[in-house]
Amino acid sequence: MTLEILTSDALTAQHGFFTRKGGASEGLYTGLNCGLGSGDDRDVVAINRQRVAKAMDVGIMDLQSVYQIHSADVAVIDAVTDRGFSKADAMVTATKGIALGILTADCAPILFHDAEAGVVGAAHSGWKGAVTGISEATVTAMEGLGAKRDAITAVVGPTISQRAYEVGPEFFEDFIATDMEFSRFFAQGKDDRMQFDLPSFCLHQLRASGVGAAKWTGHCTYSDPDRFFSYRRSCHKSESDYGRLISTIRL
């Protein structure tokens, strides 16, 4: 099966929000599971990642990832960086030929590009990363490589939408304790439940950081099982594990 690669006209760097289509994995992971941390066969995951690298026109060693921990930490990747998995939730580079690959399964993948400076970034933004400043940290790291905030375009890829993201009152209360204005990213759900708008919150944080443009592709991971893996959907179906999507960008 052919790989399905979603792109945004807003980004001029080579990039892709890969769906689950076109992969070698089977069972719970059917499709393009790129998560080495999943319970999938590691050799099969390696095949999937090789397919992604080929689609991005890089060697497999130049498809870079990090060990994601729901933080606001950013790794700077260059030609001499140790190619091991750093603990971080974003990467930036000004080195041509390196593809930055972020893994998600409901959290938001965000791809960044300053075309004038020749700097790209990729971030994994769940609610924890978003509220603790992963977008701001990525933009700051890009500035360290010569980018300018108002020249950066950021695109939020497939993520869980508000209609599918039900949270409890404790989540809501803890979230607005950071800033009462964040209440506008919640809608009332059934009984005491709330519906959280992760993509809109990511866009808010990006715009607050001063980027020149910020967009969302509009794809919901939860509601489209044929195209996307979803952690929350797997929980609702009482499945033992789930696959991971990959989103990449390179100069």
Phi, psi of 159 (to 5 degrees): -155, 170
Supply the pLDDT for residue 53.
98
The Cβ of residue 15 has, within 10 Å, a number of other Cβ atoms equal to 24
Name the pTM for this structure: 0.97
Supply the pLDDT for residue 251.
96
> Is domain 5-161+197-246 classified as CATH 3.60.140.10?
yes
Supply the pLDDT for residue 81.
63
Domain ranges of the chain: 5-161+197-246
- For residue 43, give every residue at least 6 positions away whose Cβ sits within 8 Å of its Cβ, in sequence order, or none: none
* Antiparallel, parallel or unpaired: β 14-18 and 245-250: antiparallel
Which H helix or E strand runs over 187?
strand 186-188
Q: Which two tokens stand for residue 57?
A: 């026109």
Report the distance separating Cα 196 and Cα 83, nearest Å.
36
Q: Is the Cβ–Cβ distance between 56 and 45 less than 8 Å?
A: no
Q: Is the Cβ–Cβ distance between 225 and 245 less than 8 Å?
A: no
Q: What are the angstrom distances between the C-alpha of 59 and each of 9, 64, 113, 240?
A: 25, 10, 21, 32
Q: Residue with structure tokens 């980004």? A: 11
Supply the pLDDT for residue 80.
65
Regions of the chain where pLDDT drops below 70:
80-84
